[in-house]
Structures are given as C-alpha cells and as structure tokens.
Amino acid sequence: MPQLTALDAQFLHFETATNVANIAGLAVLDGDLNRTDLQNLLEQRLPYVPALRRRLAQVPFGLDHPYWVQEDDLDLDYHVREIGLPPPGDDRQLAEQVSRLHARRLDRGRPLWEIYLIHGLSGGRVGLYTKIHHAAVDGIGGADVLAALLDLGPEPAPPPAVAPERDEPPPGPAEMVVRGLARLALNPAHAVRFAARAAPHLDEIPIVSRLPGSRFVSGLARQLAGAGQAPELPTLPAPKTPFSGPVSQHRRFAFVSLPLEEIKRVRKAFGVTVNDVVMTVCAGGLRRWLAAHGGVPGRPLVAGVPFSLREAGVEGRGNQVAIMTAPLAVHVADPVARLYQVRQAMHRIKDRFSLAPARWLREFSESMPAALMGLASRSAFGLVGETVPPINVIVSNVPGPQFPLYVCGRRLLTFYPVSVITDVSGGVNITAFSYDGSLDIGVVTDRQMIPDAWELAGHLRDALEELRNAESSLPH
C-alpha cells in the first residue's frame, strides 16, 4: 500500500503548463530496434520494476497525498511509441524531437512514464527516449529503472527466478478520508518539528539564507544541539542573467560527449576531483555563452547541485534527494583560477553535507497540509520566479558504469540525461552522465531564454579544451 511522500507529492503539485517535472534520458543504440522486441522485453521485466507498474490513486477532496496502485493491465501500446526522423536524421533533428517530447506533461490517469523509439538516425542508429515523472523516481531511482532494461551482454538475461512482489491495494475512499483527517490533525506538530530541525540549516535554504540573522541563528542552533562547528556556506545572491526568471512552455535540448580520459588528465594535473572538473567545464561554458549574450556578471552564478540522500544498500521510500547551492565562478577569466575556486566551493559544501545532510526540503514538504500543498507550491514558484530567483542554473554530475551495456542486443553508445527546468531554478539545466569512457552531457534550456542550446553545448567542449591547454602547458 505505497503512498507518495510529501516530497513526491510536491513534484506533482508544482506542475503547471510551464513547470513540468519530467526526468528523462536519451539513449542512442547501435543498430535499429524493433518495437515488438522492446515491448516483449518490457513485458518480462516490468513486474520487477515497481515505479513503472503503478498509477496514482487520488484521495477524496485532496485531504492527503495520493497513493500508488498497481496497474495489472498495462497498455504497452500506449506507453511504448515509435516515431521516425526525416533524412538525414542528424543529431540536431534528434534533439529537436526530444525537445518537443520532453515539454509534454504525462497523463496522470496512467502509470507516469513513456518510451519513444526514434528511428531514422544517421549511421544506422536508433534513439530511445524514456521519460518518467519526478514524483515516481528521483535521479538515482531513475537510473535503477533504466538498469532494469539493460543487459551486460548482447544476449538478454533471463527474468529473475523469484516471483515479483505485488503491492497491497490502497485503502478505500472512506479510509483514505479518515487517514487524511488524522494527518491534518498532526500537521501543527509536523510544522513545529520542521521549525526545530530547520533552525541549524537556515543558511542552506535558498532565500531564507539571505535574511538578516539567518546565519547567526543557524550557528547558535547547531551549538545548542551539540553539533559543533560546521563549514560556513557562502552568501549567494543570484545575479540576474538572460536565463533567470519564469520559464515558458517550450524547451530546447542539445547534447555533447566529452572524453572522460581528458577530464581525468585535468583532474590529475591539478589535484582536484572529476566532479570539480565537470563543474568548471560548466562554469567555463556558461561564461562563454554569457560573454556573447549581454555580458558576464561580476560575481558567481548560483548553481543548484542535487545530492542523493540514499544510503548505500538501503532502499528508501520515494524521492531521496536534496539540493545544495554553490557559487559557480563564471566571473573568473583564468580557467585554472576558476577550477580552484570551484574546488574550494564544492569542498566546503561536501564537508557541510557530510556533517548534516540537507533534508530541509523533505521536512518542509512534510510540514505542509496536503490539502494546501498544491496551491502553496504553485503560488510560491510563481512568486519566487518573478521576484527573487535563488538559483541561476542546475548542474548535476552522475557517475555511471564504465563498461558497455545493451538493450535487446543493441549496444548502448551514449546516454544523455534530459532533466528539469523551473521558474525557481532558472532556464538552464546541465546534467552529465559518465558511461564507458565518455562524459555524456544533456543541456536543457528554455526556448525563449536560450533559443540555441547547441551553442551552449559547444561552449562546454571549448571549456574542456581550455583546461586541457592549461594542463599541457604545465611543466612535466
């Protein structure tokens, strides 16, 4: 009888015609793929992937968060679709098609996912675009869903010997109402608990961290709680950029693959981490784009950096994700100085996160009455996006497997993440996924803010080349 957590429900409630909570990936496979073969593979494996066999069951009057109910009659003809690109089937045509698909909201009357086979790619390749609602999975959970469709070799693995587990059915409408009223009665206690737990973390919460006295209260609360001294986070007023503010209904998508070996050489030469290099590449790419479109701000951008709260080997219910804000040193002209500023900022945030994971988003969601959450979420997104957006850009780096994978016997060549932009987070999302010696980067933009996402993607390649040139000039 799984029920959405408060944070899961937030991803449903903030959706509007312009804020869409689809997380997705574009896999490019070597060789064409038959839709029937893909449906047969899914039919075997979907019973073992709970996120893909559940649909929403709403609570009467919206008194509580929805439940998940198992869908036994899954319509694979609806969920698995195919389209074709006209010749020549190049990467720009592929990305344009993905842009349109990604902007469409999912049907909430069905399990919240769709897969599109995209035929006609040049070089005999085929695209596989998979999207799922953020209410059903977070980034790590989405990777687990994808993994269920992949094989380690060309021959598909047989299904597990054990029978799949079935969900218990959700309660009936009357019991849902009773449970919802009981939760409503407990909301004041949740709000008090949130206030107590949030006090040590006020300097982590966008907008709140900029209020006078928030840092003092955070430090005092940590001392009273016996938590000791934690690394201080920088004050981060987000500068105004061409991609700040409310987003439109339309998306642009582009992608680029960078050699992971080159990133590792830069990492080794300057004594930093792979993630530091990836963040610096993003900073360098954004700097180049800003220089060509209105000028580079005189202070860092504010990047939202997602972190997983999942513990290794421990399955948690629902979304287990937090977001920390980090300065992104686009204002620094020298690429090496920019790299070291990024390293310092990320080191400080990781130290802070390791001491006290940023669970404020989840706890804040739990403190709100379910019946008011939808209106509050949409109103807050609209107000913050119009007035003081706390974040300029989302940047994420997800490590993946360094060996080849297969779908229905076709080798996976590249996998590009296709993520979320919102009024609050700004009109750019750059998400990287490392796979089999390559760093595959998906760039999602708002079409009205950045009409040509390929320009930004190209600047990412230039930014890595800039670091490589700096590395090659070092004495060896």
- Examine residue 262 and state whether it is found in any structural domain, yes or no: yes
Taking alpha carbons only, the member of 134, 201, 55 closest to residue 377 is 134
Last residue within a domain, chosen from 174, 205, 226: 174
Catalytic option among 65, 133, 134, 201: 134
How high is the pLDDT of residue 356?
53
Residue carrying the six token digits 């709680």: 225
Q: How many residues does the chain have?
A: 476
How high is the pLDDT of residue 175?
86
Q: Are residues 336 and 433 in the same domain?
A: yes
Amino acid at 456: L
Taking alpha carbons only, the member of 414, 417, 421, 476 closest to residue 445 is 421
Q: Are residues 167 and 243 in the same domain?
A: no
Q: Are residues 13 and 92 in the same domain?
A: yes
How high is the pLDDT of residue 217?
45
Last residue within a domain, chosen from 158, 174, 190: 174
Note down pLDDT in tens along the chain; length 476 residues.
688 888 888 888 889 899 999 999 999 999 999 999 999 999 999 888 888 999 999 998 888 889 999 998 899 999 999 999 999 999 999 999 999 999 999 999 999 999 999 999 999 999 999 999 998 887 555 666 777 789 999 998 888 888 788 888 888 888 888 887 777 666 655 554 544 555 555 455 555 455 455 454 455 555 555 555 555 555 568 899 999 989 999 999 999 999 999 999 999 999 999 999 999 999 999 999 999 998 999 999 999 988 777 655 445 566 667 778 889 999 999 999 999 999 999 888 777 666 555 555 555 555 555 555 555 455 555 555 555 678 899 999 999 999 999 999 999 999 999 999 999 889 999 999 999 999 999 999 999 999 999 999 999 999 999 999 998 888 76
- Examine residue 123 and state whether it is found in any structural domain, yes or no: yes
CATH number for the domain that contains residue 269: 3.30.559.30
- What is d(CA 152, CA 406) in angstroms, rounded to the nearest whole number? 6
Full DSSP string of 271-286:
T--HHHHHHHHHHHHH
Strand locations in 367-420, DSSP E?
393-398, 406-407, 410-418
- What is d(CA 417, CA 410) in angstroms, rounded to the nearest whole number? 19
- Examine residue 216 and state whether it is found in any structural domain, yes or no: no
- What is d(CA 224, CA 232) in angstroms, rounded to the nearest whole number? 17
Catalytic: 134? yes
Last residue within a domain, chosen from 131, 150, 174: 174
Q: Are residues 376 and 302 in the same domain?
A: yes
Strands 80-84 and 301-308: unpaired
Q: Are residues 249 and 377 in the same domain?
A: yes
How high is the pLDDT of residue 475?
76
Q: Are residues 143 and 263 in the same domain?
A: no
- Examine residue 244 and state whether it is found in any structural domain, yes or no: yes
Local structure of 177: helix, strand or coil: helix
Tell me the Cα Rg of the chain.
Answer: 23
Q: Are residues 445 and 319 in the same domain?
A: yes
Q: Are residues 162 and 291 in the same domain?
A: no
Q: Are residues 150 and 258 in the same domain?
A: no
CATH number for the domain that contains residue 170: 3.30.559.10
How high is the pLDDT of residue 358?
53
Q: Are residues 11 and 134 in the same domain?
A: yes
Q: Are residues 303 and 449 in the same domain?
A: yes
- What is d(CA 142, CA 112) in angstroms, rounded to the nearest whole number? 12
Amino acid at 71: E
Q: Are residues 366 and 462 in the same domain?
A: yes
- Examine residue 208 and state whether it is found in any structural domain, yes or no: no
Compute the CA torsion angle 379, 380, 384, 385 (nearest 10 deg): -50
Structural domain of 47: 6-174
Residue carrying the six token digits 């040049």: 122
- What is d(CA 422, CA 24) in angstroms, rounded to the nearest whole number? 15
- Examine residue 22 and state whether it is found in any structural domain, yes or no: yes
Number of domains, the chain: 2
- What is d(CA 214, CA 210) in angstroms, rounded to the nearest whole number? 7
- Examine residue 328 and state whether it is found in any structural domain, yes or no: yes
- What is d(CA 382, CA 282) in angstroms, rounded to the nearest whole number? 27
